Amino acid sequence: MQLAGRSLLLLAVAVVSLAFVSLPTTQAAVFSETASAADGFLFLNKFCYQYRSQDPVHLPCGDITLDIRVPRSSYPNDTKTPPPIRLCLYDDEARVVHGSWTNVLDNWDDWGCEDKVAAAKGSSAGVPASMNCSPLCHPRDDGTDCVPEWGGEGTPYWTTSFTSAPIRQGVRPRFWYFVLADCTNKLHDVHYRMHAVQAAMSSWNEEFGSNELGLNTTYLTFFFVYVLFLTIHGISTWKLQRKLSYLHPMLKLFLIVLVVNFIAVFVLLLHYGSYARNGIGMPSLLKAGEILVIVSRCFFMLLLLLLARGWTISHERLTKKWLVVTLVVSYLVVSIIILGYDYSARDPKLTKEPRTVEILTVLLNVVWLAFASWFTYAIFFDSYRHEENPHKKSMYLKLGVLFSPWFILPAVVSFLVFAMDPWARDRAIAIFNLCISTGAYIVLIFLFWHSRAEEYFSITVPDVMSGAGITGDEDYRTML
């Protein structure tokens, strides 16, 4: 029954993970799509530009390049005159500021195309919508209007490629929203490729929006950190196995945690390293890496919960271990499902997460804090209070003090993200979770070092250390 239950849980994780990896992603500096807009107001995508603290008036923050293909059939009355499509820009300022995308969203159903275009950055009150925003052509140095250069003669499409006027800002990082607009006609099957870049960044960082800026360097750094971790723990594990002719499941479980986390960091490095070159990255690897991070975190939580209940520390037999395993793996499956729903519900047009995603995230963090409470109670009020051996009692105290922050802080930070600015949220959460997990792993790598592991834990062959930790060889085999 245990084997069947374990297989079903692992199958559930695999199925949910594969379904999640197949979902599309919207995070990119290069975005390509074929879309339509019945009212002639076609949202493209958004990008978060860094600001210029010095001379923002003359030094640009960045721009976008657009390649557009419009079917001539969208203009059946005149297939020879290029379409009067313009590029409209909005930013994430407060609703009361002209050019605010939030203002447009709040009035999305009430405003027509001309009202939305009139609210664009740089638009003027009383000017016809056809004259607002920017024409699809390169700005002239003398400041005079440019004439869009459309190609595609002899084909069923109008085509053009241009680079927008430089975007300038000097206060803070800011999301900019890009729209193609032609309020005189509906836009049908418009194919576009948008490429946004940062002007003030090196080639290693220019493709990243400010909300993700530096993640490529972060994962490159932690890649080498986890190579070091695997080397140290691998050597320790190998020496312990040679010495004892047996490798305890606790050491195997921690080795799995390190390996899974290393693979997660590696695939995320591949994604962000590729993103630094092409502005797209490898979206499937991004989602696979996020799944592996969750898997690693849940396995580590399982290890800590088992230690809190006295596994390899106290002389009592570990009971109801499959209740712990089942709860943790169920939490893992639900976490992946919610992450998948988050991806499917993401809409770059929105300025914040959908309310359903926020509610599910809060509920998931409440469950995580319930695990944290369980860990705290088990290690301080159960194992610590009932342990008579001073050495083991001290061990419980140290584990509780050292690992309680690992349980509590990520959930607290997840609650705080709702108050964080969106241009700093993604990067802050990723870096913080990496740092807190890395600190926790360092502690166990130290405790599991081959010269001191037997001092802290009962990890020798069961018939040698009878009565210590888990009793019975079968219990060892069924733990993993």
- Residue 47 has a pLDDT of 92
Taking the CA of residue 359 as centre, how many other CA atoms within 13 Å lie in the half-sphere pointing to its CB? 3
Q: Are 254 and 448 in contact (CB under 8 A)?
A: yes
Indicate whether 284 pLDDT > 80.
yes
Q: Name the phi and psi angles at 470, rounded to 5.
A: -80, 135
As a whole number of angstroms, the distance between CA 476 and CA 6 comes to 15
Cα(first)–Cα(last) distance of the chain, in Å? 14
Which of 36-50, 84-98, 391-405, 456-470: highest mean pLDDT?
36-50
For 26, which DSSP code?
A: -
Contacts of 203 (CB under 8 A, 6+ apart): 276
Query: CA dist 249 to 235, 294, 398, 438, Å?
Result: 17, 21, 22, 21
Mind giving me the DSSP string for 39-86?
TSEEEEEEEEEPP-SS-TTTS--EEEEEEEEEEGGGSTT-SSSPP--E
Phi, psi of 32 (to 5 degrees): -130, 135
**Residues for the chain: how many in total?**
480
Is residue 383 pLDDT above 90, yes or no?
A: no
CB neighbours of 151 closer than 8 A, spacing ≥ 6? 158, 159, 160
187: helix, coil or strand? strand
The pLDDT score that the predictor gives to residue 216 is 93
For residue 10, the model assigns a pLDDT of 47
Centre a 10 Å sphere on the Cβ of residue 352 and count the other Cβ atoms it contains.
Answer: 12
Indicate if the alpha-carbon torsion angle 194, 200, 206, 208 is positive or negative: negative
Distance of CA 201 to the CA centre of its chain: 22
What confidence score (pLDDT) does residue 16 get? 44
- What pLDDT band is residue 42 in, cutting at 50, 70 and 90? very high
Phi then psi for residue 133, to 5 deg, are 65, -165
What is the reported pTM?
Answer: 0.83
Read off the DSSP letter of residue 164: P
Concatenated DSSP letters of 356-382: HHHHHHHHHHHHHHHHHHHHHIIIIII
Strand ranges (E), 154-280: 157-163, 174-181, 187-198
- Give the Cα separation of 237 and 448 in Å (integer): 8
Distance from the Cα of residue 47 to its chain's centroid: 16
Q: How far is 362 from 149, CA to CA, in rounded Å?
A: 51
Instruction: Report whether 242 contacts 281 (CB < 8 A).
Output: no
pLDDT-derived band of residue 336, with 50, 70 and 90 as boundaries?
Answer: confident
Q: Cα separation of 183 and 97, whole Å?
A: 23
Nearest residue to 199 via CA among 155, 164, 241, 154: 164
pLDDT tier at 79, thresholds 50, 70, 90: low
Sequence-separated (6 or more) residues with CB below 8 Å from residue 426: 211, 212, 215
DSSP β-bridge partners for residue 180: 42, 87
- Phi, psi at 307, each rounded to 5°: -65, -40
Share in percent of the chain as helix, strand, coil (round to 5): 50, 15, 35
Q: Are the beta carbons of 65 and 161 closer than 8 angstroms? A: yes
Give the residue, 321 or 338, on which the prediction is more confident. 338
Shortest CA distance to 23 belongs to which of 295, 427, 263, 337? 337
Q: Which string of DSSP letters, residue by residue, matches 222-256?
A: HHHHHHHHHHHHHHHHHHHHHHHS---HHHHHHHH
> 117-136, pLDDT tens digit by residue?
988 886 544 444 444 577 77
Q: Which one-letter DSSP state was computed for residue 148?
A: -
pLDDT above 90 covers a percentage of the chain that reads 23
CA dist 74 and 207 (Å) reads 33
Structure confidence at residue 96 (pLDDT):
65
Instruction: Give all domains of the chain, ordered by start, each with its CATH number.
Output: 2-26+212-477 (1.20.1070.10), 30-198 (no CATH)
Burial class (CB in 10 A: 0-12, 13-18, 19+), 295: buried
- Among the residue ranges 75-79, 171-175, 199-203, 232-236, the one predicted with the least confidence is 75-79
More confident residue, 464 or 298: 298
